[in-house]
Chain A
C-alpha cells in the first residue's frame, strides 16, 4: 500500500499540472482528429469495414464518453452556444462534408464512366441524410444538456 502511494505520488506542482493537462488536451485532440482522418482515408481507399471496426468503435467510445461527461457536468462547448441555430449549422456542415467525400469516392470508383447527374444525386441524398441524422442527434443532445443544466442550477440554488 505504502509502495503504491509512492508510485502514484504526484511529482508535479500546480503550474506543471496545468501545463501537463494542456499538453494532454492538445495530444487528445490531435489523436482524435488524426483517427478521424485515418478512418475517412481508409474507407475511401477501399479498406473493408470489418478492418476499421475496432478503430471506429474506439473512436465512437471516446466521443460518447466525452459527450456524456460534458453533459453530466453541464458543459456544451467552450465557444459555441447550444441551440437550434448551432444544430442546423453543424448538421449542414457535416452533410456537406459527407456529400463532398461521396463525390470524391464516386469519381475514384467510376473512373472514365463518370456520371455527373448520378453522382450529384447520390451525394445530395447522402448529404441530406447525414444532415438529418446529425440534426436529430444534436437536438437530442441539446435537450439532454439543457435538462441537465436546469437540474444543476436547481441543485446550486438548494445548496445556498
Chain B
C-alpha cells in the first residue's frame, strides 16, 4: 500500500483511481472538499486519483469513511474499472 508513486517500491505505475473520482462526484464533493474532510492537501487527493501517489492504509480508510464506501469498492484494482 505504502508506495511513493512513480519511484517507490516495485516501480509499477499505479493505476488511475476512477472509482474514487466517481464516488466523490456522486456525493457532489470537489477534490478540495474531500481533502479538507480527510485533512490532507488537495494535491494529495489529485495525485491519488491520477495514480501518482499510493496512499497509506490510514488515509485509504479515512477516504472510505468520508465517502461511505469500503476499501474494496474504492481501492481494489481490477482491469475493468481502472485504466493506465
Interface residues of A (CB under 8 A from B): 13-16, 18-19, 22
B55, CB-defined interface residue at 8 Å: yes
Q: Which residues from B are CB-within-8-Å of A16?
A: 41, 43-44
Give the interface residue-count category, chain B.
Answer: 10 to 19
- Chain A proximity of B21: nearest CB distance (Å): 17
- Chain B proximity of A27: nearest CB distance (Å): 16
Q: Which residues from B are CB-within-8-Å of A18?
A: 4
Main secondary structure of the interface of A (DSSP, over half): helix
Question: When the two chains form their complex, are residues A15 and B53 in contact, meaning their CB atoms are under 8 A apart?
Answer: yes
A/B interface sample: 12 pairs, CB < 8 A: A13-B39, A14-B40, A14-B55, A14-B59, A15-B41, A15-B44, A15-B53, A15-B55, A16-B41, A16-B43, A16-B44, A18-B4
Q: How far is the CA of A16 from the CA of B43 in the complex (A)?
A: 9
Q: Which residues from A are CB-within-8-Å of B47?
A: 15
B56, CB-defined interface residue at 8 Å: yes
Question: When the two chains form their complex, are residues B4 and A22 in contact, meaning their CB atoms are under 8 A apart?
Answer: yes
Residue of A nearest to B53 (CB): A15
Residue of B nearest to A13 (CB): B40
